[in-house]
Amino acid sequence: MGNYIRKIAYIHQYNEGGEGKSVGFVRLDRREGTWKLSAQMKGNYGNGGKRCSIYGYVREEKGIKAVLMDEMTISGTLAEYKKVLQKEGYKKFHGLEGLIFQLEGDILAAFWEGKTEYRRTELMALLKGENPPIQEIKAASEEEKPKEVQVLEIPSIKKEKTAFSPAWEKIKNQFPLIHPFEEDKNMEYVHITPKDLQVLRKDYWILNNNSFLLHGYYNYKYLILGKKKEEEAYWLGIPGIYHEREQMMADLFGFENFQNASLGPREQGSFGYYVKKVKV
């Protein structure tokens, strides 16, 4: 299949307070010299249609700039956008790190390389060719970036002859215990945030930039970390409402299962958690 990369990011509205609600997603499929972009946005665009300008959020040696890619008219309640970029024909997009949509004064944007502190004002300045008055895009802020000195010293399971390591006891002492499910006698859970993901094994720290995880945290302001009582098995959970399309998105971001918070069958509209197995 060659050098294949897929990246997905949520499209958010931007206002003067910063990032607002999610209205859709952008997917980038990159294989060798071809980039395929696709986007979907939900909204009330009317029957007459609204003009939408699409800009590439491009990183160059001199900094970030917005490059006009397309203009289109959208109508109804669902807007779709697709574009194929060939490496040789679109050299100005080689540093593409996101998309910005200008829709009759509204600003929507998706960034798949990391988080931003942009507000509507800064993005408008960027579209006008001006330098934003704040730091541009960054994978993680200094406060959020895991540091070696902050990592819990968790003994390797291989070194432990018993069935348990002391890792969970340290985690329980650090974070509040919660009971997210009506009945789950074989599990214990704690309440965490994205910056607390440093308690996981180092190769899971990249989840701090997982768009699906950050989307769930933005909506509910917490995550859960759970452990089976009788074995060294851990699960990370993102609160959310079950829908088939949302489960498809969760799968793409590595959260392959959904567990109802209440007893009963999983069905559309059920509240629960999208979960993935992790290690500490």
Give tens-digit pLDDT for 172-203: 888 888 888 877 778 899 999 999 999 999 99
Please name the residues in contact with 82: beta carbons below 8 A apart, sequence gap of 6 or more.
36, 37, 38, 39
Structural domains of the chain, ranges and CATH numbers in brackets? 4-127 (2.60.40.200), 148-278 (no CATH)
Give tens-digit pLDDT for 219-278: 888 899 999 887 888 999 999 889 888 888 898 899 989 998 887 778 888 889 999 999
- Tell me what pLDDT residue 155 has: 41
Residue type, 71: E
The DSSP code for 132 is P
